[in-house]
Amino acid sequence: MAADIISGKEIGDEIRAEIAQRVSDLKKNHGLVPGLATVLVGEDQASHMYVRMKNKAAGELGLHSQQITLPGDTSEDELLGVVAGLNGNPDIHGILVQSPLPDGIDEAKVLLAIDPAKDIDGFHPLNVGKLNTGSDDVLVPCTPAGIIELLMRSGNDPAGKHAVVVGRSNIVGRPMASLLVRKGPGGNATVTVAHSRTPELGVITRLADILIVAIGRPETITGDMIKPGAVVIDVGSNRVDDPETEKGYRYVGDVVYEEAAEVASAITPVPGGVGPMTITMLLSNTVAAAVALAGIDG
């Protein structure tokens, strides 16, 4: 069996085209330009790269994008003041404070300071609670939301299936399980959550019709741990040494791709699978937040 490839780039491009049309319609019919603000503290190079990518993508789709870059010695109170200003800015509908933050700043405190209606990461406790109680009025964490889109748009509706989520982080694993089990499109699955402390992990993963792996450990799931015909979503992106490559390293997922592709019916590649969906869903959340804040129906 050779698995079908679920391309995050292709599906992400499809969704971005829909977002661009939605933004155009909002401007034309309501005079509304969804606004995204990114706050960057310090000189972490990876963070600078991620923020540039987010702002570039926002601009390409017609969103208003504002970047606030603060020095590494910014105090917690100063950062909280910036967040308060964005909360009160009617032109900003989505706020993202890029992690990691410098020592001395409590990330949890900063997260709590963001208006939940503008929390496009979906990490505020109010949004977490809404998701876990099945509310439709919620901003969903971007990576799990993107995975649901990958499944639905590739013809792999989770409804009635047994989904196994490997990983229990607040960013992917827990919200992923909540999305899969809730009533409505993209949900109605029977869900098992496994993790690094699960004994006989392969026994659990072989039960999955849909296997979502977000354990953060390179190539943990091998081919013999996968049920034949299962759909495999690999969230991992791990840098491993490889002296045979020009750069001396390469990126692999949490799944041994070559083995899994021989067993699964469909699989996401690394790179090019889940990764491209995260920024796409961040932009989708920004538009959704703008519509909700403006009180626009439909």
* Maximal CA-CA distance, the chain: 57
Q: Is 200 left (phi over 0), alpha (psi -120 to 50) or beta?
A: left
Helix axes 45-60, 8-30, angle to 10 degrees: 60
Residues 113, 91, 49, 177, Cα dihedral to 10°? 60
Identify the CA nearest to 151 among candidates 208, 212, 202: 212
Question: How many angstroms from the chain centroid is the CA of residue 271?
Answer: 15
Which element (helix H / strand E) includes 178?
A: helix 173-181
Helix axes 45-60, 275-294, angle to 10 degrees: 60
Positions marked active-site: 54, 98, 121
